[in-house]
């Protein structure tokens, strides 16, 4: 086998035209060890091919990860797969069966195709929603990748991501070497993408250390950003909300129930905009905090972008 440090590799990124996937493709195209980046996406925006460089070619392929044969064809000849494709839905606007078909069934197809084609390295993009909060709204304080947190996940989206994650763990070591990157929503997408790129590279160089591991994404984004995001979310539904104000739980619960009743009565004549739901409300009010340096210890990860570059432009 050729020296892994010298071999120029072919990557396939599912969902490579998405919010996170596109940033992964851009960063991969800048690495001198990457020969080609294939983008497999149901949207297939050809402008992503602009990331092609003198040494790395970027190819966009249109396809749905539910279509096993298309996925198999796109993956042929690839060495590494970064699987980011998923339906992300925290407001329950997508039927659960459809979300499960993409997030779980699509992941099954990716793993199956990798086994058939002997593509040994897979990095799977998880979600913190697959961890919690649970239906009991139990908090997690300063947890890490090894912290035990039990109970049924509340968000339907989180349920599908937890199912897919289980498939990934079960497949590790069976012709495949896999690891998982969780992407909490407050952190820089550029830094989350960079962690994927480093994890995929080091999974090839240090498989005994990285295979089967989970890594939480982290950077120097201030925790106060979370308050600003919650303010934006809630003020869009109630203009009277001001920074520093307190909204009683019962008021939010009542607003959600009234919205649900109106939606049922007026359907199908009027379809109101997606609204805050109880699982998402419980996610907002449940404390979930993390403290980890595992990615730094295992493969030398350091944030590539400052939070000012990401959030302030």
- Kindly report the CATH number assigned to the domain that includes residue 102: 3.40.50.720
- Domain presence at residue 54: yes
pLDDT of 236 strictly over 90: no
In this structure, the answer to whether residues 98 and 130 fall within a common structural domain is: yes
The predicted structure's pLDDT at residue 246: 66
CA atoms of 163 and 104, how far apart (whole Å):
6
1 in a structural domain: no
Residue 4 within a domain: no
Q: Say which residue, 161 or 233, is predicted with more confidence.
A: 161
Q: What is the pLDDT of residue 4?
A: 47
Residue 155 included in any domain: yes
Find which of 145-149, 182-186, 269-273 is predicted with most confidence, using mean pLDDT: 145-149
| Mean pLDDT score of the chain | 85
Q: Is the pLDDT of residue 105 over 80?
A: yes
* One domain for residues 115 and 259: no
Q: Which of 16-25, 98-107, 175-184 shows the lowest mean pLDDT across its residues?
A: 175-184
Residue 3 within any structural domain of the chain = no
Instruction: Give the domain extent around 64.
Output: 9-222+288-311
Residues 241 and 279 in one domain: yes
pLDDT of residue 55: 92
Lowest-confidence range among 27-31, 77-81, 282-286? 282-286
pLDDT at site 5:
45
214 shares its domain with 269 = no
Q: Residue 32 has which token pair?
A: 């001198």
Cis before 268? omega within 30: yes
**Residues 97 and 213 occupy one common structural domain:** yes
The confidence score (pLDDT) of residue 234 equals 54
Stretch among 8-17, 134-143, 200-209, 221-230 having the lowest mean pLDDT? 221-230
Phi, psi of 190, deg, nearest 5:
-65, -40
Residue 183 and residue 234 in one domain: no
**What is the pLDDT, as a whole number, of residue 180?**
75
pLDDT of residue 184: 56
Residue 113 belongs to some domain of the structure = yes
Q: Which residue has the higher pLDDT, 178 or 87?
A: 87
Nearest to residue 184, comparing CAs of 125, 124, 106? 125
CA–CA distance, 256 with 223 (Å, rounded to integer): 27
Same domain membership, residue 52 and residue 179: yes
Residue ranges of alpha helices (H) inside the chain are 21-29, 68-75, 96-100, 106-117, 156-171, 189-205, 207-210, 224-235, 249-266, 278-285, 294-299, 307-311
Q: In this model, does residue 183 exceed pLDDT 80?
A: no
Q: Is the pLDDT reported for residue 17 higher than 50? A: yes
Instruction: For residue 78, tell me if it sits in a domain.
Output: yes
**Do residue 270 and residue 293 come from a single domain?**
no
* Domain presence at residue 2: no
* Catalytic residue check, 33: no
pLDDT (0 to 100) of residue 297: 95
For residue 37 the two structure tokens come to 């980046």
Q: How far apart are the first and last CA of the chain?
A: 44
Catalytic residue among 157, 215, 216, 290: 157
- How far apart, in whole angstroms, are the C-alpha atoms of residue 64 and residue 43? 9
Residues 137/286, Cβ–Cβ less than 8 Å:
yes
Mean pLDDT for the stretch of residues 173-197 = 78
Pair 206, 229 in one domain: no
Do 140 and 238 reside in the same domain of the chain? no
Encoded tokens for 137:
């709204």
Same-domain status, 218 and 228: no
Phi, psi of 6 (to 5 degrees): -105, -25
Higher pLDDT, 240 or 175: 175
Quick: pLDDT tens for 22-75: 999 999 999 999 999 999 999 888 889 999 999 999 999 999 999 999 999 999
What pLDDT sits at residue 245? 57
Give residue 300's pLDDT.
Answer: 94
Pairwise CA distance, residues 280 & 23, whole Å: 27
Report the SS3 class of residue 216: strand
Are 141 and 159 within one domain? yes
Query: Would you call 32 exposed, middle or buried from its count of C-beta atoms within 10 A (0-12, 13-18, 19+)?
Result: exposed
């Amino acid at each position: 086998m050729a020296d892994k440090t010298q071999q120029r590799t072919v990557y396939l990124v599912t969902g490579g035209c998405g919010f996170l996937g596109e940033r992964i493709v851009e960063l991969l195209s800048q690495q001198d060890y990457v020969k080609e980046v294939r983008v497999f996406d149901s949207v297939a925006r050809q402008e992503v091919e602009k990331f092609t460089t003198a040494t790395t070619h970027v190819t966009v392929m249109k396809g749905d990860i539910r279509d096993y044969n298309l996925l198999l064809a796109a993956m042929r000849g690839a060495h590494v797969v970064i699987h980011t494709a998923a339906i992300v839905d925290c407001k329950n606007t997508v039927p659960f069966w459809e979300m499960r078909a993409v997030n779980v069934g699509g992941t099954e197809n990716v793993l199956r195709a990798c086994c058939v084609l002997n593509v040994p390295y897979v990095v799977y993009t998880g979600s913190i929603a697959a961890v919690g909060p649970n239906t009991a709204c139990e908090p997690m304080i300063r947890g890490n990748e090894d912290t035990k947190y039990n109970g049924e996940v509340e968000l339907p989206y989180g349920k599908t991501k937890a199912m897919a994650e289980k498939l990934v763990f079960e497949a590790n070591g069976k012709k495949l070497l896999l690891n998982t990157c969780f992407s909490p929503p407050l952190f820089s997408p550029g830094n989350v993408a960079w962690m994927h790129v480093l994890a995929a590279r080091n999974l090839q160089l240090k498989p005994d250390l990285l295979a089967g591991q989970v890594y939480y994404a982290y950077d120097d984004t201030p925790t106060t950003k979370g308050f600003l995001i919650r303010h934006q979310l809630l003020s869009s539904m109630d203009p009277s909300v001001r920074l520093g104000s307190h909204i009683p739980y019962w008021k939010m619960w009542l607003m959600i129930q009234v919205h649900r009743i109106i939606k049922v009565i007026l359907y199908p004549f009027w379809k109101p905009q997606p609204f805050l739901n109880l699982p998402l409300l419980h996610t907002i009010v449940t404390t979930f905090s993390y403290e980890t340096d595992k990615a730094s210890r295992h493969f030398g990860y350091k944030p590539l972008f400052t939070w000012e570059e990401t959030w302030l432009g």
